[in-house]
Amino acid sequence: MAELQHECGVAALYHLGGEVSPLIPDRNPRNVSRLMPRMLIDLQNRGQLAAGMSTFDPTRRQILETYKEIGTVMEAFRLSREDKAKKIMEEHRGIAAIGHVRYATCGDNTRSYAQPFEREHGCRWKWFAFAFNGQLANFPELRRDLLKLSDYHLTRDNDTEVLMHYLAHEHRGEEQPNLVDLFSSASQKFDGSYNIVYLNALGDLVVLRDPLGLRPLCWATDGKLFGAASENVPLANLGFTEIHNVEPGEMIIVRQGKIQRHRYAPIRKPAHCFFEWIYFANVASNLDDRSVYVARSNLGRELAWQEMRAGRVKLDGDTIVVPVPDTAKAAADAMAHELRVPCVEGLMRNRAVGRTFIEGANRMDRVKLKYTPLREVLQGKRVLLVEDSIVRSTTLQALLSHLRERGGAKEVHVRVACPPIIAPCFYGIDMSTVRELFAPRFMPRIQKGWKPTVADQDRMAKELGADTLMYLPVEAIARSLNLDEDRLCRACITGDYPTPTGEQLYELSLKQIENGNNNGSCRTYESGDSSGIFPAVGTVDAVARTTG
């Protein structure tokens, strides 16, 4: 959905010493950092708000150097201006680099919130930079605990700064901490999703995946070059061939030319976010040994079988399947193949329209700027419009009107390759209140596990301006991904959360609806009501005393 925002993406690179990998430009170890913008471009699907990197070079005065700017990777690194891009790369050369692309689920859309974050210090092992993909669901409590300490001041209202200060506390003292113990100690207080890439001024690199594996993360080597990224595509496109998953609760440390894998958190049943396959990830990616393309095709076949069972739409020469570009295309192709009707691109997406220009327009104008209906394809047709999901519905309403008025479609039947979104996400997707969601408006009462009837979906269709609407059932997700249900986070379609804070925030979101004191303008965890819902997480001093 155009109205559902992407998450963030992280990446890391390290030359291990010795023979230089042919993947590194000019076979110069200090040029490892030049590969980072290429990796971040392949992660651009995960965030378009800001991009940045931190690099390590022990031969320069500024051992760690961080560069970050607002905009896409092309904009941030000035890649359309060869002279400016070359200058940035020269100033930030290094044998190791960590990188980040950002979409804000938390905090302002300014450069100060862009990542990586760097904490400078005169002691090299206390000087570090890090970037993070995910969201700490309990960050308001973590933040309050920090502010209880004397002389503490936070300059930003986001979980990244809170995470930085917790890591900084684990670095205090006169002895260099064990990195496994450091992250193990911090993880005991974190609730949510957090994939981290960390680089200090000693040249130690950490790549870490949260204990539930909510977000994907993978790594690879090519000779003496180590790489890691949120998805496998950036690594594959650089030339890495053997790509592995970072396991949930696992961290990889690269130090002095050696790669070490450690478990920093106990083994738990994973809770992979199913939305990664449906929407967020690059369609060419393979997440936790499951192809994104195959998963989306399977969802399309599920839609087709459901369509044939329902038999509500006439399938003849006037019927076509049209995907909403781009994430619904694989599902639409598979659905059309099963139904034996044409799948055509009746909607063309304008990729040249800038983000700022779109944001300055009203809803209908944004749709008109972003999508062009092809009247030659749609005129007089019965359209099965395939969408990957419906979150808030406002963009889809405008799009359906656009299809009829400008495209000339005689019927539009919406088919959603996802069950109804009935609950918020507190793990990194920008939908964190019940009230902002479309489907709960049609529930007799807000409840877990709701399954819409045909009558419910007809009322939804009328609200959207569609002739009919049909969702996939919840059980179709696990079938399509070929993963057991209990290995997936499906909180947004079931109301069952994999962490305690998620459950508590959901209850708070329901309470806000009952009390009528939440209009959807602020996130649940930003509400003043959230101050008493979390279990005590202890002070930062207590965190540091455990194992760090």
For every residue of 306-333, DSSP letters joined together read HHHHH--S--STTEEEEE-TTTTHHHHH
> Per-residue pLDDT averaged across 343-359, rounded?
71
pLDDT for position 335: 98
CB neighbourhood size of 449 (10 A): 10
CA distances from residue 237 to 23, 53, 59, 524 in whole angstroms, order as listed: 10, 19, 30, 39
Q: What distance in Å separates the CA atoms of residue 259 and residue 205, rounded to the nearest whole number?
A: 9
CA distances from residue 485 to 198, 300, 447 in whole angstroms, order as listed: 32, 19, 20
For residues 539 and 166, the answer to whether their CB atoms sit within 8 Å is no
Amino acid present at 254: V
Q: Residue 361: pLDDT band by 50, 70, 90 thresholds?
A: low
> Per-residue pLDDT averaged across 337-365, rounded?
75
Of the candidates 74, 472, 7, the one whose C-alpha atom is nearest the C-alpha of residue 281 is: 7
Q: What is the CA radius of gyration of the chain?
A: 24
CB neighbourhood size of 151 (10 A): 4
pLDDT for position 353: 61
> Per-residue pLDDT averaged across 518-546, rounded?
40
pLDDT for position 539: 32
For the annotated catalytic residues, the residue numbers are 8
Q: Residue 546: pLDDT band by 50, 70, 90 thresholds?
A: very low
pLDDT for position 547: 23
Q: What distance in Å separates the CA atoms of residue 36 and residue 235, rounded to the nearest whole number?
A: 11
What letters, b where the CB count within 10 A reaches 16 and e where it falls short, cover 506-537? bebbbebeeeeebeeeebbbebebbeebbeeb
Q: What is the pLDDT of residues 71-86, one digit of tens each?
A: 999 999 999 999 999 9
Q: Residue 50: pLDDT band by 50, 70, 90 thresholds?
A: very high
Q: What distance in Å separates the CA atoms of residue 54 and residue 209, rounded to the nearest whole number?
A: 19
Q: What is the pLDDT of residues 289-306, one digit of tens each?
A: 999 999 999 999 999 999
Q: What is the pLDDT of residues 128-172, one digit of tens each?
A: 999 999 999 998 899 888 888 767 778 887 888 889 988 988 888
> Per-residue pLDDT averaged across 509-533, rounded?
58
Burial (CB count within 10 angstroms: exposed 0-12, middle 13-18, buried 19+), residue 173 = exposed
Backbone angles phi, psi at 15, to 5 degrees: -90, 120
pLDDT for position 365: 76
Q: What distance in Å separates the CA atoms of residue 220 and residue 232, rounded to the nearest whole number?
A: 9
Q: What distance in Å separates the CA atoms of residue 141 and residue 152, rounded to the nearest whole number?
A: 15
Name the 3-class secondary structure at 458.
helix
Q: What distance in Å separates the CA atoms of residue 380 and residue 384, rounded to the nearest whole number?
A: 13
pLDDT for position 43: 96
For residues 114 and 52, the answer to whether their CB atoms sit within 8 Å is yes
Q: What distance in Å separates the CA atoms of residue 231 and residue 233, rounded to the nearest whole number?
A: 6
Q: What is the pLDDT of residues 396-412, one digit of tens each?
A: 999 999 999 999 999 99
pLDDT for position 150: 64
Q: Looking at the predicted structure, is the pLDDT value of residue 57 above 90?
A: yes
For residues 331 and 293, the answer to whether their CB atoms sit within 8 Å is no
Structure tokens at 360: 């300055």
Structure tokens at 328: 């619904």
Structure tokens at 197: 């890439």
> Per-residue pLDDT averaged across 7-32, rounded?
93
Of the candidates 426, 417, 397, 408, the one whose C-alpha atom is nearest the C-alpha of residue 497 is: 426
Q: Residue 362: pLDDT band by 50, 70, 90 thresholds?
A: low
Q: What distance in Å separates the CA atoms of residue 297 and residue 286, rounded to the nearest whole number?
A: 14
> Per-residue pLDDT averaged across 29-43, rounded?
97
> Per-residue pLDDT averaged across 193-221, rounded?
97
pLDDT for position 404: 94
Q: Residue 535: pLDDT band by 50, 70, 90 thresholds?
A: very low
Q: What is the 3-state secondary structure (H, E, C) of 480-538?
A: HHCCCHHHEECHHHHCCCCCHHHHHHHHHHHHHHHHCCCCCCCCHHHCHHHHHCCCCCC
Query: In the block, which residue shows the tokens 């981290």?
Result: 196
Question: Minimum mean pLDDT among 152-156, 203-207, 213-217, 500-504: which range?
Answer: 152-156
CA distances from residue 33 to 38, 59, 88 in whole angstroms, order as listed: 10, 15, 11
pLDDT for position 384: 98
Sorted by where each starts, the structural domains of the chain and their CATH numbers stand as 9-270 (3.60.20.10), 291-495 (3.40.50.2020)
- The full DSSP string for 368-396 is HHHEEE-HHHHTT-EEEEEES--SS-HHH
Name the 3-class secondary structure at 5.
coil
Q: What is the pLDDT of residues 466-519, one digit of tens each?
A: 999 999 999 999 999 999 999 999 999 999 999 999 999 999 988 888 777 654
The overall average pLDDT reported for the chain is: 88
Task: Provide the residue count of the chain.
Answer: 548
Q: Residue 380: pLDDT band by 50, 70, 90 thresholds?
A: very high
Question: Minimum mean pLDDT among 98-107, 115-124, 296-305, 314-323: which range?
Answer: 98-107
> Per-residue pLDDT averaged across 39-47, rounded?
94
Burial (CB count within 10 angstroms: exposed 0-12, middle 13-18, buried 19+), residue 266 = exposed
CA distances from residue 86 to 12, 20, 78, 492 in whole angstroms, order as listed: 20, 22, 9, 44
Q: What is the pLDDT of residues 443-462, one digit of tens each?
A: 988 888 899 999 999 999 99
Q: What angle do CA 184, 135, 328 make, to 5 degrees?
A: 125
Q: What is the pLDDT of residues 235-262, one digit of tens each?
A: 999 999 999 999 999 999 999 999 999 9
pLDDT for position 356: 40
Q: Looking at the predicted structure, is the pLDDT value of residue 5 above 60?
A: no
Name the 3-class secondary structure at 101.
strand
Q: Residue 108: pLDDT band by 50, 70, 90 thresholds?
A: low
Structure tokens at 247: 């396991």
Q: What distance in Å separates the CA atoms of residue 422 and residue 438, rounded to the nearest whole number?
A: 8
